[in-house]
Amino acid sequence: MDREFLIDLFADFGPVTLRRMFSGYGISADGTNFALALRAGLYFRADDETIPQFEAEGSKPFQYTTRSRTVLVNSYWQLPARLFDDSEELAVWARSALGAAQRAALRKRPRSRKAKAPVKKAVAKRATGKKAAVKNTVASRPSAKKKRAGKKRPSS
């Protein structure tokens, strides 16, 4: 699938952004990636709400093979072939996939960082303490450096 074909395919859905990814393109709308166009086919984002639609059409989830195993990616499912000829219904499926991607993004949002704040303060105090310790050492004074230059350190 080339760029022009994909742009035409999503014409009824609305403007999409294509970004080179793996052996094809990542397809996004409103800054959210909702589809993958790869050599193996076109895959839409899916979740618990949309997977039954794909299963009813006989679609399979995206999978790839590594040296040691086959990895099944249940969050992207292959688009039914009949939708390539029906751009209006493809737009409906694309909106559904975009909704699944947006729901997944909401679940991924980071939680409050209140628990990490005391750790940062402790690190800052430790760093300040080290600086103060370095300033007060004999080795930091210029006269001590001259005296130390002539002495040999014991080997360990």
pLDDT digits (tens, 9 = 90+) for 61-75: 999 999 999 999 999
Same domain for 104 and 44: yes
155 occurs within a structural domain: no
CB distance 7 to 94 below 8 Å: no
Among candidate residues 134, 94, 115, 111, the one with its CA nearest the CA of residue 6: 94
Same domain for 87 and 14: yes
pTM value > 0.85 = no
pLDDT in tens, the chain (156 residues): 889 999 999 999 999 999 998 789 999 999 999 999 998 899 999 999 999 999 999 999 999 999 999 999 999 999 999 999 999 999 999 999 999 999 999 988 766 555 555 555 555 555 555 555 555 555 555 555 555 555 566 665
The CATH number given to whatever domain includes residue 64 is: 3.30.1460.30
CA 26 to CA 1: how far, in whole Å?
12
Same domain for 126 and 94: no
CA 54 to centroid of chain Cα atoms: 24
50 occurs within a structural domain: yes
Same domain for 14 and 91: yes
Instruction: Give, in order, the Cα–Cα distances in Å from 114 to each of 3, 117, 118, 126, 139.
Output: 45, 5, 8, 20, 40
pLDDT at 115: 52
N-terminal to C-terminal alpha carbon distance within the chain: 66
Same domain for 120 and 104: no
Tell me which amino acid residue 44 is: F
pLDDT at 40: 85
CA 33 to CA 2: how far, in whole Å?
18
CB distance 6 to 37 below 8 Å: yes
Same domain for 127 and 98: no
Same domain for 61 and 20: yes
pLDDT at 120: 52
Q: What's the domain range around 103?
A: 3-108
